[in-house]
Chains A and B, each alone.
Chain A
């Protein structure tokens, strides 16, 4: 059995009352994209969901259920089809991403529409990473569909459940695309040759090694290196005061 870690609470703020009802005691997983019903609650896109908005990863029940709430009464909102769940417009192939707050050894992941299992992926009894993505072909389906995603744990009797409302094919907008590669782009384009040492005041350049005391410009400002490192995207001087101080 996995170590249980309770959520200690800071005894201030309006959230205490809600959190104290059922602080997540054990870690789990849920479908974050396309947003499952519990993700929509946790995003505040669907209001008045109750406790699930703080712990979308906690819809756990015995294996073999076909409900959205794992028959947990205080998550019943998830199984209510009349809550105006927005459906995500998708093509016929959909990539589902699970966020796992604990990497339980996995029997498999199953995807159902109605009583039909549309896809299954073996977990091989291994522990997954903190995220897992599956590409599921839904070409036999169109229009609005309620899909049930199930994560079957290998070493317990339980599974985790996520319902995802989809608008499949024709007419819808494409789903909002994740933008992991979009840089914040406040920087001028680096033009310095990558092998030479930066002259004082040279432009900050990813891939270059900087020593303590080196000075660079970035976004029109000058910074001095305070910790030796090789520059990388995400470590732009204004973002990492531990590496650069503003001159």
Chain B
């Protein structure tokens, strides 16, 4: 794998860790059953993707911990909004925060499809681009969307 592929995996691992963090903050507090279902499916699929990315990074001798967490998509302020959202507001805040977060993942994946070299990583990027784009559309269509 080339450096550009490892950088993408490292960034995406950090981004995915944040998705799981977002999910953990809300999955017991969401009111809408469709949102609960979506979050549960995102949690299990992204946990697998994270394991895949970490495995490839480890094979390359690079730490599985993403080194570029600092700026990833969703800042501490957004996580705090989720954590502090009162019961009636959790769905609305989640839809907003997660849509922005997953759009960031789709954008990163799209950029990697234009620049990446490793076919396995490009295939992962393709699936990330598709699934996150579809999720953003689902969130935008949700009644809790602003």
Contacts and interface: CB of A to CB of B under 8 A. Distances in A.
A33 B38 contact: no
Contact of B62 (A2, A15, A56): A15
Interface stretch (A41-49, A139-147, A166-174): A41-49
A182 interface: yes
Given A56-B4, A97-B111, A130-B11, A241 B48 contact: yes
Interface in A15-69: 15-16, 19, 23-24, 26-27, 32-33, 35, 39, 41-44, 53-57
A53 B2 contact: yes
Nearest to A235: B131
A101 interface: yes
A178 B114 contact: yes
Contacts of B71: 2, 27, 100-104, 127, 130
A232 B131 contact: yes
Contacts of B115: 32-33, 35, 39, 43, 99
Contact of A56 (B3, B37, B44, B61): B3
Given A9-B63, A32-B115, A230 B138 contact: yes
Interface string B31-59: 00010011011001101100000000010
B129 interface: yes
The contact size tier of chain B is 35 or more
Contact of B37 (A9, A43, A182, A229): A229
A-side interface mostly: loop
Contacts of A209: 37
A175 to B, nearest CB: 9
B113 interface: yes
B68 A101 contact: yes
B45 A243 contact: yes
Nearest to B12: A130
Contact of B70 (A53, A102, A234): A102
A56 B112 CA distance: 13
A227 to B, nearest CB: 5
Contact of A44 (B2, B65, B68, B114): B2
19 contacts: A7-B67, A8-B67, A10-B58, A27-B70, A32-B111, A41-B3, A97-B114, A99-B111, A101-B7, A129-B103, A130-B108, A131-B104, A180-B113, A228-B40, A229-B41, A230-B37, A232-B130, A233-B134, A240-B48
Interface of A: 2-10, 12-16, 19, 23-24, 26-27, 32-33, 35, 39, 41-44, 53-57, 97, 99-104, 127, 129-131, 176-180, 182-184, 206, 209, 227-230, 232-235, 239-243
